[in-house]
Homo-oligomer: A and B are copies of this chain.
């Protein structure tokens, strides 16, 4: 209805000047207790609300932070955002969400757009690409702080928060070996994100350290969905010497494999053990429940936010390049508990 009240309205009402009102509102010491109280009172009576836009324009600080993810309704990403928001909201920041739909072009546009909107920083989990590193490069040269989480790109001077994917891959594989599995296959997701490579490396390393041979035919490249997982499992089981376990870089892919194995009446975990990656919520509800490597998404979000805040605090200092690597936590459930299941 009525127009929004500004400090000018309050000033007029009180026969003083807008500057005085501003001072009163901002707890500026250079003002009498009397007028301050008067202003405060009138402000609340007139239902005054500060216009953050004007403040932002004036100060050059919008108090908005952009968060860019492929899709916000993926459990992992929404949880990271949960963490970011939890950490940033109390500090007065608002979180602006954008989804790239796993599209590199769109990602670039989104970043430009956020920059136009004068966000104070951008937290991003980048989309797949094919050697298009350069595309993002010019935009990263800006003064606006960038922080990668989970899916990072290797640029100098850009901070990142990731988990230890190598360790995750290693632990999962080692765990399967400890269960007595001898022929461990791996579901690999084939794109340019180095995190999948790291998990694969962890897998290899665990095999070798434990005297098991690395067999290329046991590594299947697939997309992260059930369908692909079923096909991958089928391919594996038709090998002359089929594996007796799978460590999968994707929970969804693993799910497909499980369905396929069950259709063959293969018992999990007695005949075949599996471990996934991501600890997607559904893994704990399945029967059997699925072991998976947890990525602590909420923690990751909080940490990314903290790194951003640090960056802001050290204002004009040299650009910080902080690489935080969170631990990967293997969650052992029934799907790989051959030894002592209850």
Give A residues with C-beta under 8 Å from B.
Answer: 1, 49-54, 56-57, 62, 64, 71-73, 75, 78-79, 81-82, 85-86, 89, 94-99, 112-118, 141-143, 255, 281-282, 285-287, 297-298
Contacts and interface: CB of A to CB of B under 8 A. Distances in A.
B75 A73 contact: yes
Given A116-B49, A117-B53, A72 B99 contact: no
B64 A73 contact: no
A118 B53 contact: yes
> Assembly of this chain: how many copies?
2
Contacts of A85: 72, 97-99
Contacts of A97: 81, 85, 95-97
Contacts of A86: 99
A196 to B, nearest CB: 23
A99 B79 CA distance: 12
A286 to B, nearest CB: 6
B285 A116 contact: no
A98 B286 CA distance: 32
B73 A81 contact: yes
A62 B53 contact: yes
A298 B101 CA distance: 14
Contacts of A143: 1
Contacts of A118: 51-53
B89 A78 contact: no
Contact of A56 (B53, B82, B114, B285): B53
Contacts of A52: 116-118
